[in-house]
Structure formats: C-alpha cells, structure tokens
C-alpha cells in the first residue's frame, strides 16, 4: 500500500493493508469490518449529507451523545472505520476515488452489475490506475449470467431463498420455511468475500497483478448446502425440511426441559450408548441400537419419547451438567442474556467495552478470532457521516481546506 496509514497504532495481522468499502448494509461492509478489527485501514464511503440511511437507522437504536439515535448494528460493525462521503456520479468524485484507489489494496463494493462502470469506474479503468488492486464485487446474482437476474436486487432472505437454504430450514409442511436469523446469508457472503479478497492480495503480492472477484450472494449461500446437490444429481433426492432433528440418526434435536430448552447431539455410537444408559435403557438391546438410525420405527419413536420425558422432568442446568459429564454434546439454547451472563463468555472476554464516537461508552462483541502474535483491537468506535473527510482527503490526498469547502458546497463530498 502506498502512502501513510490512517490507523493511529500498529496492531493486527493486516496492518499495512488498505480496504476501500463502498457497499451498504451487511455483506460487503462486514467483510471490511473483519479487516478493520485486524489492523487494516478501512475507508467507508457514504452518500454526501444523508450517509447510509439504511444501516445507520435500521433495527433497534441506541441514543447518541448529540440527542439523536444510531443503529445497534452500526455501532457493532462500523467501529475502526474511517467514514467519508463521496458522490461517485460526479466527475470530481470519480477522480477522488481513483486517487484513493491508487493507494489501496482491496476495493469491496456491492451494487447491481454495471453501476460503477456508468460512472467511469469500470474495472479496467481502476486497474489502469492501480494494477495490484483487488476488486471484489458483491451482488445478489453475480456479474454475469442470465441478463434478467442481473437487474434484480437481493437482500438476505432473498439470497437464502434463491441459494437453497430457506427451502430446507424450518419444520415440515404445513409450517412455512424459516430464515436463518439474524442475517446469516449476508454474513456468510461477507466471510467468503473477506477470505477471497485476502487470497487475491496474496496473489497480487506474489505476482504484482490484482484481479476482480465476482461474488454472488446466492452462490456463497449455495456453497454451504453440504451434500444437498449431490443428493439431487446422483440420487434424485430433494432434501426437505426436517425441523431441528438430523437426517438418519438420533438424538440430534432440541428438547424442552422444565425451565427452558437444550440442544443435544449424539453423533457417535459411544455417545448414543451413554444417552441410553443415562435414561435407563440398555444400549446392547437390538431394538435400541435400531432406534438410533431408524427414526420412524416403533422403537425409534419410543426412544425419542423416553428421552423427551427424561429431559422434561429436569432443569436445563441439570440436563446440561449430566450429559456433558458423560461427554455427550449438549448446550442450553442461549439468549443474548444467557450469553452475557455465561461464565465461558466471561472467562474468554468475548464481550468488551469501547468508546463509540456517537453513542459514548458501549459494550458488545470483541474481536474474533484470537491471534497469539498479532491480536486485533478496537481503537475507536463508529463515527458520524463524513467524520473523516479532512483526514482522508486532506492527509492522504493533500487537498487543502479551501478546496474541501468547495467540494462540500458542490456536494461532491
């Protein structure tokens, strides 16, 4: 990366890398959020004046120090960002972006195909300025394919539907399909975009050549369907919704205790045998061995009923302690309150406090994962619209205050 860094202190495994983020909502910006937590410079572009009117104001809000309100998700996911405003459709805005792209390693954007090309920012033009730049395009349906799909917009639940997860998530008919909450399709796309971008950076550093990445949200979601499509192509099987239970073996499901819910899974034979012993069954009996994989058999149904009866007579804490003592995977189904109060979360310091420039002191999820030599860090919270215009355009590009005032007056920034 050319030029000086914006991050005021050195930390993390991505120090020295610069990401330009022109996406909105979740998928593209969250990929950049992962980079920001690990030490990269991340410059987030928003519309002049209004900013990201979607994600700054969607969902539950917390009070700001100036009397306004800001989205809880913005506070969590836009920390460590440098926020600037820019109108890409104006020639001067285009020129400013190209100057910043010259100093960047990765540009991640999310828009309908052709959006930036209409503003004179097609990949060829940007790569002519910086041949080493990695350009990651995040879209609902991809940059190519059936032209009708390229015109469509997509959000998380749409991506889950088109990608194939929504169809098999939830309980069988007549219950409706259920989305994976909160925004799993978007976050999954973000993780794939983050990993792909870093893979391309490694290639660029080795060869000097950047490249473009075409990341379709539906393909990112479709990629994690496991054996679903092999089942269809090889066996003609369409995987249907089965609720929380696994296909082909038990127990692997949710169970109601006297005071709440748990999930337990006994994938291996020894785990299943231990479950049998705990609930008073002899695992050596052929009928209980058959019950493990013959879920719809008489003995399979009977086993499930006996287990559910045993669980229902006990508290969550009793069930979790008893099963884990025998190395049977089991957990309370955790609410946010449960997570906040759980000793493992506390012992690992999962939830941390930081100062948000807009909301003041806040507490949320810390940096994940943990690096032994180059840990990530939260060096500042989220900021207001255009908060870093002078720092980015002034310090990085050398634009004088008088010219910045002109750019503001012309609504370029």
Cα separations in angstroms, 339 against 233, 335, 344, 350: 41, 6, 9, 9
Catalytic residue at 186?
A: yes
Q: How far is CA 154 from the centre of its chain?
A: 16
Catalytic residue among 41, 105, 156, 186: 186
Cα–Cα–Cα angle for 30, 395, 26, rounded to 5 degrees: 10
**258-267 per-residue burial string, b: 16 or more CB within 10 A, e: under 16:** eeeebbbbbe
SS3 label, residue 399? coil
Task: Dig out the tokens for 230 from the structure.
Answer: 């092999």
Give the burial class of 397: count Cβ atoms within 10 A of its Cβ; 0-12 exposed, 13-18 middle, 19 or more buried: middle
CB of 20 closer than 8 Å to CB of 43: yes
Question: By C-alpha distance, which of 320, 379, 366, 308 is closest to 340?
Answer: 366
Cα 42 from chain centroid (whole Å):
17
Q: Is 328 helix (H, G, I), strand (E, B) or coil?
A: coil
Task: Name the residues annotated as catalytic.
Answer: 186
């Amino acid at each position: 990366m050319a030029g000086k860094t914006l991050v005021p202190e050195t930390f993390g495994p991505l120090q020295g890398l610069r990401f330009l983020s022109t996406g909105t909502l979740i998928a593209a910006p969250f990929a950049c959020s992962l980079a920001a937590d690990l030490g990269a410079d991340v410059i987030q572009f928003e519309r002049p004046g209004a900013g990201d009117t979607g994600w700054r104001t969607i969902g539950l809000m917390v009070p700001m120090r100036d009397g306004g309100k800001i989205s809880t998700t913005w506070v969590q996911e836009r920390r460590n960002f440098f926020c600037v405003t820019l109108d890409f459709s104006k020639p001067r805005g285009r020129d400013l972006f190209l100057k910043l792209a010259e100093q960047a390693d990765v540009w991640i954007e999310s828009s309908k195909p052709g959006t930036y090309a209409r503003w004179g920012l097609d990949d060829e033009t940007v790569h002519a300025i910086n041949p080493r730049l990695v350009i990651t395009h995040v879209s609902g349906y991809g940059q190519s394919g059936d032209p009708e799909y390229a015109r469509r917009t997509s959000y998380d639940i749409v991506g889950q539907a088109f990608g194939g997860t929504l169809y098999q998530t939830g309980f069988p008919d007549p219950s409706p399909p259920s989305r994976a909450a909160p925004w799993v399709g978007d976050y999954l796309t973000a993780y794939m975009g983050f990993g792909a971008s870093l893979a391309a950076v490694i290639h660029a550093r080795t060869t000097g050549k950047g490249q473009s990445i075409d990341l379709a949200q539906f393909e990112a979601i479709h990629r994690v369907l496991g054996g679903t499509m092999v089942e269809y192509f090889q066996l003609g099987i369409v995987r249907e919704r089965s609720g929380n239970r696994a296909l082909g073996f038990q127990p692997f499901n949710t169970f109601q205790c006297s005071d709440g819910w748990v999930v337990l899974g006994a994938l291996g034979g020894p785990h299943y045998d231990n479950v049998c012993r705990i609930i008073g069954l002899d695992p050596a009996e052929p009928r209980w061995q058959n019950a493990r994989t013959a879920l719809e058999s008489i003995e399979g149904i009977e086993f499930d009923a006996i287990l559910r009866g045993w669980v229902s007579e006990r508290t969550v804490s009793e069930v979790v302690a008893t099963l884990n003592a025998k190395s049977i995977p089991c957990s309370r189904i955790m609410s946010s309150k449960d997570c906040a109060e759980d000793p493992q979360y506390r012992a690992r310091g999962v939830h941390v406090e930081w100062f948000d420039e807009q909301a003041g002191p806040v507490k949320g999820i810390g940096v994940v994962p943990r690096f032994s030599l180059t840990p990530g860090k939260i060096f500042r919270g989220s900021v207001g619209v255009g908060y870093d215009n002078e720092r980015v355009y002034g310090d990085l590009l050398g634009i004088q205050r008088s010219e910045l005032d002109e750019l503001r007056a012309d609504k370029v920034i």
